[in-house]
Amino acid sequence: MDQPVVVRDVSTLASWYSDWAGLKVAVLGIGVTGFSVADTLLELGADVVVVSSTGTGERVDLLGVIGGRLVVEPDATVLPSELVDFDPDLVVVSPGYRPDHVILEWARASGIPIWGDIELAWRVRDKVEPAAEWIVVTGTNGKTTTTQLAAHLLAHAGRRTAAVGNIGIPVLDAVRRPEGFDVLVVELSSFQLHWMPRSGPGAVHPLASVCLNIADDHLDWHGSREAYAAAKGTVYENTRVACVYNLADATTMHLVEEAEVEEGCRAVGFGLGAPGPSDLGVVDGLVIDRAFHDDRHHFAVELATLDELRAVGLGSPHMAANVVAAAALVRAAGVTADDVHDGLASFRVDHHRTESVAFAADILWVDDSKATNPHAASASLSSFPSVVWLVGGLLKGVDVGPLVAAHSSRLRAAVVIGRDRAGVVAAFARHAPDVPLFEVDEAETGRVMPEAVRLAAAVAQAGDVVLLAPAAASMDQFTDYADRGASFANAVRDHLGGAGDDHDPTPLGGTPGA
């Protein structure tokens, strides 16, 4: 007689010190996140198979050393037979896997639980006692800067802290560090939030949370803007002290209203206008707090001046908004106003975020390669009155038409890059037909930015800003946004250091300088 199949109840695995031994886990993806998941589970004693589209690379080699096994999935539409034979108790998915992936559909049909890396990290966060508090950050634009700001301010105040998650450092690497942390500031993408449960032992209970803003992004992945917004709203679930929302973005307020939070949690607004008694904002050039002090109905606490923010590269409207949001998060964690003020003075903006590359012939060259969606690009464009705009890449199902229409009056010209240029060119034809438009028709990555810079230099005039703010992802032609930004910066320096090119290009739909 066949022996009955023993099914492990993974819902009981709510601690590093639970019984993970022998648990059969399939990990999807062997990128930075997937490897951290596999490494953690193997340390816990689980039996781990990693599914990857590639069978080579440093992490693949390391996987065998630490005791994991690899299943290569050359065709993402075909369920690997080795995975079916493995018969996992649990699937842990890397953030980029779409919900309709064949393995995930098979897991759901088979009743196999699916976790994301954040759920696993929350369950095992108590490896080092006491477990760190979590502050969680999401939004269409500004996540990384706000995460870095909050972590910097906490560190300045003497807290052992780290900026982790979608920022590039897996949360699981942080929770396993033997020295431990007081606070983790966790940047969460909409992909990670999609896989996070809202209740149960795997649901995150952060000290404070923020959704900075909501604009169309990753609609091809989520399927609709409603699904995208719903995923972002998960950030507020179970928050204990403060749900921070954007006073200028009603959607974020509605997400707070819909969230199930812990008793006593407050809704705290942030913005660039005069704040109410539970908000942080700006009055007469001062960043002030009317939320986290005893007499907030009658007085405000000064945190910084806008002049001080400009001195450290945080003076543009979208950067200042990130500062106010980060200040709200750390004030919720008990950081003093003085520590916020002094910490801001020593902060430096990350590369590829509205970063000045060069200034020559009264033309400023700016790298905002991290503007990977229209919302981020709009914030960047709004900072400058006259722009030669480098735009394009992987659009992710988003229409850039409204962005083009909103900023056409400030555009000297536009240079369209990326393999998916047709949507951008069509948007200019509809909404800004008089703006001079150039296309970079280069297939080799190494030639894209030199040609884009050459075209931009030929049309830019004194007082202009040549701005790389692509409003699109980079993976069509570059490794990531940092690679794209570095390529732009190198091309600018090469161009300015050489003799230049006097060729006068003919734009699509206009003439240089029109």
pTM of the shown model: 0.75
What confidence score (pLDDT) does residue 54 get? 85
* pLDDT above 80 for 224: no
Which residue do the tokens 């300045």 mark?
Answer: 156
Q: Does 33 count as an annotated binding residue?
A: no
Q: What is the pLDDT of residues 120-163, one digit of tens each?
A: 999 999 999 999 999 999 998 889 889 999 999 999 999 999 99
Domain definitions of the chain by residue range: 19-112, 121-345, 355-497
Closest among 462, 310, 487 to 390, alpha carbons compared? 487
- 366 with 468: CB under 8 angstroms? yes
Q: What is the pLDDT of residues 419-447, one digit of tens each?
A: 889 999 999 999 999 999 999 988 788 89
Q: Does 139 count as an annotated binding residue?
A: yes
Q: Does 12 count as an annotated binding residue?
A: no
Q: Does 141 count as an annotated binding residue?
A: yes
- 96 with 76: CB under 8 angstroms? no
Instruction: Report the alpha-carbon distance of residue 386 to residue 306 in Å, rounded.
Output: 23
pLDDT level of residue 512 (50, 70, 90 thresholds): very low
Q: What is the mean pLDDT of residues 190-210?
A: 95
The domain made up of 19-112 has a fold known as Rossmann fold (3.40.50)
Q: Does 354 count as an annotated binding residue?
A: no
Closest among 129, 241, 145, 120 to 181, alpha carbons compared? 129
Instruction: Report the alpha-carbon distance of residue 104 to residue 112 in Å, rounded.
Output: 9
Mean pLDDT, the chain, whole residue set: 90
Q: What is the pLDDT of residues 270-316, one digit of tens each?
A: 999 999 999 999 999 999 999 998 887 888 999 999 999 988 888 88
Q: CATH homologous superfamily of domain 355-497?
A: Mur ligase, C-terminal domain (3.90.190.20)
Which residue do the tokens 């399927």 mark?
Answer: 223
pLDDT level of residue 223 (50, 70, 90 thresholds): low
Q: Does 140 count as an annotated binding residue?
A: yes
* pLDDT above 70 for 218: no
Distance set, CA 21 to CA 43, 45, 125, 372 (Å): 10, 4, 18, 42
For the chain, what is the total number of helices (H) and then of strands (E)?
19, 20
Pick from 12-26, 176-190, 212-226: least confident: 212-226
Q: Does 34 count as an annotated binding residue?
A: no
pLDDT level of residue 48 (50, 70, 90 thresholds): very high
Q: What is the mean pLDDT of residues 365-374?
A: 91
Q: What is the mean pLDDT of residues 92-119?
A: 94
Pick the CATH number of 121-345 from 3.20.20.220, 3.40.1190.10, 3.40.50.720, 3.40.718.10: 3.40.1190.10
